[in-house]
Amino acid sequence: MKRLEIKDWFLNKLANEKGRNIHGSADVVFGETEKAYNVMFDCVSTCFTAWVPKSVCTWVDTDENHPRETHEASSFEEAVKIKNNLRSLYC
């Protein structure tokens, strides 16, 4: 299993733009171009999406210290279903 980690400076930029607290990895990737990933982040009260440049992303293996994985979806609708399922596990 892998997770998509995003550099802190870019997460801070997104957090300021969106007015949200964002952790260091994407919950779901549901789109990709040559230069960016379209990702979904889950915040406490809502979720949001953003295009994130690949240059600020790193795919890393999950382990017992960081078990959270990034899921992949083929559409926004599938990403929402995955996010809702993940949320049901924790709420």
Domain that holds residue 70: 2-90
Report the length, in residues, of the chain: 91
Pairing of the two strands 28-32 and 71-72: parallel
Residue 34 has a pLDDT of 97
* Total Cβ atoms within 10 A of residue 16: 10
pLDDT in tens, 9-50: 999 998 898 887 777 678 899 999 999 999 998 765 677 889
Q: How does the average pLDDT of the chain come out, rounded?
A: 86
CB burial string 51-76: b at 16+ within 10 A, e below: ebeeebbeeeeeeeeeeeebbbbeee
Q: Domain count for the chain, please give it.
A: 1
Residue 91 scores a pLDDT above 60 = no
pTM of the model: 0.83
Residue 37 has a pLDDT of 98
Separation between Cα atoms, residue 11 and residue 90, nearest integer Å? 23
